Amino acid sequence: MKFNRIDIEAARKMLSPPESGSDLKKTIQIVDIRDDESFLAGHIGAALHLHNGNLQQFIEEADLDAPVLVYCYHGHMSQGAAAYLAEQGFVETYSLDGGYEAWKIY
């Protein structure tokens, strides 16, 4: 399965509320794969801290048809994680280019 790379601007648009009168957007699942300390120091909105301890539960309980946005520190490790989630049956997976470090300064 294939994942998509997404830049900060496109990700922000994807996560923004729909404009009035437009179709409702799909619920986006945001997952942060950084370490505990980094996640606690700051993360994107309603992101789930995804780690080995909750990965299987996430896969079993998540909506496979809803988009998944995966991010890490700089956008490198998230590519592998997004590819893995795509292999598990997630239909629409994205890896955030630049990761959280780019997100917080954009």
Is 73 within the bounds of a domain? yes
Ranges of H-type helices in the chain: 8-15, 36-41, 55-61, 77-87, 99-105
Taking alpha carbons only, the member of 15, 77, 12, 89 closest to residue 51 is: 77
Separation CA 2–CA 90 (nearest Å)? 10
pLDDT of res. 77 = 97
Residue-averaged pLDDT of the chain = 93
Query: What are the tens digits of pLDDT across the range 20-68?
Result: 555 555 789 999 999 999 999 999 999 999 999 999 999 999 999 999 9
Which CATH number is 46's domain given? Answer: 3.40.250.10
Is 56 within the bounds of a domain? no
Taking alpha carbons only, the member of 31, 56, 60 closest to residue 44 is: 31
Is 71 within the bounds of a domain? yes
Residues with catalytic roles: 72
Tokens of 47: 């992101």
In this predicted structure, the answer to whether residue 91 has a pLDDT above a threshold of 70 is: yes
Separation CA 97–CA 71 (nearest Å)? 8
The tally of domains found in the chain comes to 1
What is the domain range of residue 91? 6-16+26-50+65-105
pLDDT of res. 106 = 85
